[in-house]
């Protein structure tokens, strides 16, 4: 082992956080944890992980599950394609490997939604394959340690950092080395104000010696954020039992939140005012025949995704004379009691938690 890896793995053994996926070599559980934690902080991801492995303790149970139930368990985590891909990958494992999780990097990376990082993490942690993992924490830590001043989010930068990690790995135990590298970046070499004074690598850290700790890692060009304008309609009526019934619809393929449910929606190049809404084609075709009464107020929310800014406006519309024969076929009728059976985005969930109590008064 290199001096560095000995130092690092010793540090890890004494300082690592005690997390459930660190006490197992079960590739299925490691896979679940890696996917959940890809875009999620540990504090938030932990509860989801525990719920997920409790409900689906084995890969065949996940493969045979209903996708709606998986999305419901995932609700609030965002990046829902991760959950859909996991479902597909579980089916692949059942079909190709008879339900036994594949044991090599080359096999694992062929599973749906599994990229280099996740495949390396599972192969090294569960099976001891000498593959290095390079996540954001590793990029930051190693770029500072080695004074790497080129953009780390380019293919070239990632390759350069991976090569550094591979040299450092040498004869170390891959499972411990990789987790230690990520943990050190997460706990010590943090994005802002890293604890360089107490860092065990401060004597060899190039960024510290050059006084460029806060300039690293370098990242090239900003993400282009697309602005979208979504006019949502909370359409409701009272049934014969005086219950409030409202409508949701499932989102289709090729867009954010595929498979989740949201409210009837008009997307355009702006958020509508009342006139624009009530003279729109959508309104005339789908709503006007139900004798709608629109609330005099609406709610606005801005919802930020990685590549998109969603500017949303929610209108509340009571259907005074609801006619089921004229209902759009995509609309699903739900009550306040049963709408939680349907997975929704955090945006819709937040809105419903506001609107529902106000209408129940």
Q: Rule CB under 6 A: which residues touch ligand SF4? A: 141, 144-145, 188-189, 194-196, 199, 201-202, 205, 207-208, 213
Q: Could you tell me the smallest distance in angstroms from the CB atom of residue 36 to ligand SF4? A: 26
Strand 308-319 to strand 292-304: parallel, antiparallel, or no bridges (unpaired)? antiparallel
Query: Residues 34, 173, 183, 240: which is the catalytic one?
Result: 34
Whole-number minimum distance, CB 216 to ligand SF4, in Å? 8
Determine the Cα–Cα distance for residues 256 and 308; give it in Å rounded to an integer: 9
CB of 59 to ligand SF4, least distance (A): 38
**What's the min distance (Å) between Cβ of 119 and ligand SF4?**
27
* DSSP conformation class of 328: -
Q: Element (H or E) spanning 43, and its range?
A: helix 42-55
Provide, rounded to whole angstroms, the least separation between the CB of residue 178 and ligand SF4.
17
Query: Are the C-beta atoms of residues 322 and 307 closer than 8 Å to each other?
Result: no
Q: State how far the Cα of 157 lies from the Cα of 168, in Å rounded to an integer.
A: 17
> Which CB sits closer to ligand SF4, 201 or 283?
201
Contact (CB, 8 A) for 133 and 117: yes
Cα–Cα dist 55/51, whole Å = 6
Identify each DSSP E strand in 138-277 by its residue range.
226-238, 244-250, 261-262, 265-268
* CB of 305 vs ligand SF4, minimal distance in Å: 30
* CA 46 to each of CA 23, 84, 175, 208, 217: distance values in angstroms, whole numbers, following the listed order: 14, 19, 20, 33, 28
Please report how close the Cβ of residue 124 comes to ligand SF4 at its closest, in angstroms.
22
Prior bond of 122 cis (ω within 30°): no
Q: Give the nearer residue to ligand SF4 in terms of CB position, either 216 or 266.
A: 216
Q: Which tokens is 100 given?
A: 């036994």
- ∠ CA(2), CA(8), CA(10), 5° rounding? 105
Of the two residues 78 and 147, which places its CB atom closer to ligand SF4 in the complex?
147
Radius of gyration of the chain (CA): 25
How many CB atoms sit inside 10 A of residue 340's CB?
Answer: 13
d(CA 47, CA 36): 10
Contacts (Cβ under 8 Å, ≥6 apart) of 295:
315, 316, 317, 318
Nearer to ligand SF4, 8 or 317 (CB): 8
For ligand SF4, the closer CB: 164 or 213: 213
CB nearer to ligand SF4: pick between 211 and 324: 211
Catalytic annotation on 34?
yes
**Residue 87 or 144 with smaller CB distance to ligand SF4:** 144
Q: What are the residue numbers of the active site?
A: 34
């Amino acid at each position: 082992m290199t001096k560095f890896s000995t130092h690092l793995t010793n540090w890890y053994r004494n300082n690592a956080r005690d997390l459930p996926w660190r006490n197992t070599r079960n590739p299925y559980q490691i896979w679940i944890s890696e996917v959940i934690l890809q875009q999620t902080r540990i504090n938030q991801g932990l509860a989801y992980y525990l719920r997920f492995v409790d409900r689906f303790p084995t890969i065949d149970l996940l493969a045979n599950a209903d996708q709606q139930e998986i999305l419901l368990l995932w609700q609030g985590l965002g990046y829902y394609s991760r959950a859909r891909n996991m479902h597909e990958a579980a089916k692949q494992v059942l079909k190709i490997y008879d339900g036994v999780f594949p044991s090599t990097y080359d096999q694992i990376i062929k599973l749906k939604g599994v990229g280099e990082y996740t495949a390396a993490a599972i192969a090294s942690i569960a099976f001891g394959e000498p593959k290095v993992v390079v996540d954001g924490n590793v990029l930051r830590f190693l770029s500072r340690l080695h004074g790497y001043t080129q953009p780390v989010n380019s293919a070239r930068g990632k390759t350069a950092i991976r090569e550094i990690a591979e040299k450092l790995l040498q004869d170390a135990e891959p499972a411990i080395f990789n987790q230690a590298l990520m943990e050190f970046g997460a706990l010590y070499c943090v994005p802002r104000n890293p604890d360089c004074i107490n860092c065990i690598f401060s004597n060899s850290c190039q960024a510290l010696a050059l006084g460029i700790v806060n300039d690293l890692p370098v990242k090239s060009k900003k993400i282009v954020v697309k602005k979208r304008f979504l006019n949502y309609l909370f359409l409701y009526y009272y049934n014969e039992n005086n219950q409030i019934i409202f409508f949701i619809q499932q989102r289709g393929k090729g867009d954010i939140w595929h498979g989740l449910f949201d409210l009837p929606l008009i997307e355009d190049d702006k958020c509508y005012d009342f006139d624009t809404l009530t003279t729109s084609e959508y309104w005339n075709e789908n709503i006007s025949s139900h004798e709608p009464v629109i609330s005099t107020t609406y709610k606005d929310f801005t919802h930020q995704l990685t590549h998109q800014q969603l500017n949303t406006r929610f209108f509340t519309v009571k259907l005074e004379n609801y006619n089921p024969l004229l209902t759009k076929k995509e609309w699903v009728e739900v009550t306040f009691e049963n709408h939680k059976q349907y997975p929704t985005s955090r945006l819709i969930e937040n809105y419903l938690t506001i609107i529902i109590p106000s209408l129940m008064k």
